[in-house]
Every structure is written in C-alpha cells, then in structure tokens.
Structure 1
C-alpha cells in the first residue's frame, strides 16, 4: 500500500549530541551510514530486510540540518515519485527537491504541502 507514512527524518546540528540524546532518552539504536552522511534510527527491532518488525511502527534517520530538512519531516511512500510530484503541484503544493536516488534502495524527493510543511516522498527501487 502506498500513501502511508513509512519513515521520519530529524535534522541535527550536532550529530553526536543528537545521537546521545535519542539513545539515552528513548533507547533508540542509531547506526552510521557514512556514504550517505546519514544516521539510521531504529525505534523498534527490524526484520531481515531492515523493516520494522512491529506492525504500525516506523524507523527514521538523523540528517544534517540543511535545506530541505530544517525541521522534522514525515516520509510518505509512493508508487512513482515523478507521478506523485506532478500530482502535488496539481493539488496546490510545490516541489522542494526533485527525485534523487538513495544508493540502490530507492528514490526520494521533498515537497511543500499547501500549508508550507516539508514532506518527504519515498519510492522503493
């Protein structure tokens, strides 16, 4: 099913400080992804594909604070980002960052909704 929230991103000015905060406060497991300048956040255990093992749970990431991620972002799964971006614009939103490949995992883009909120889009490879 697409259209569901599948991920979150939290921007950080100091990755180590943020890592310590979320690990110590909530017990999250954080793993470096140096090739992507990203820290994978596991809020719950994952299965052998790296997906949350608990129904309804989502995991996320810490990313450097920079445009377009300057505040917390929810990420919504779509079948095709190019089609979704066209629909966003047709419905009054705007594209903040065009489709980009994320390693071999899939594709991402960022939009602004009609209220100015930044929202991530995700398409599996």
Structure 2
C-alpha cells in the first residue's frame, strides 16, 4: 500500500453551533459548510487541500444518528497536545487523559468534545 488508507471521517454531533465553535477554537481553524447529499443532514468540513498528506472530514448533524460513544477514535495533529487539551477543557469539552508519551511516536492526550465524542490529540513534543 503506497497511500494513507484513511480518506474521510465524520464526527456526529447533536448541536452543530456548539460543536463547530468547539473544534474551531480547539484547532484554530475555520470549518466550511458543505452541501448536503441527504435532506436534513448538515455538514461542516475541516480544511481540505488536494494532494496534501492526511485525511479530512466533517462535523455532521443527522436525525437518527447519535453522537458520543462508539468504536472510532480520530487523532488531530498538534504542535503540543497539552495546549489543545487545555483548550478543549476551557471550551466545553473534558480531558479524559492528560498528555502522555507513546515512545518514539511522540505524545497523545484524549479529550471529549461538547457532544460526548472522544477524540485524540497527537504531537511530537
């Protein structure tokens, strides 16, 4: 395999304005609204650049799909994940596990967003 297998992700939310503010503040970026392929579905995409490394995705609000618990964990790249973990806690989220080392692969922190989804934060320092 000569490519990264993850090409898209969706983080399901219950209150879009709250979740959008959380992620924009946490990561210091601006989400862009996408046209929905399904009536009643609202999507706000993370920045995308064709040909750049990494995967992108969107916050999604869809009737009948809960947010929170589940078997998927998405990691966001950070310069220092302890900074973003603190931002999560200051913006309505909650820290599950403070920054800790993962050997030669750097550091991670685990936090909950405002919708009950656990996300990972990764940094090399």
- Normalised TM-score (structure 1): 0.46
TM-score calculated relative to the size of structure 2: 0.46
More strand by share: 1
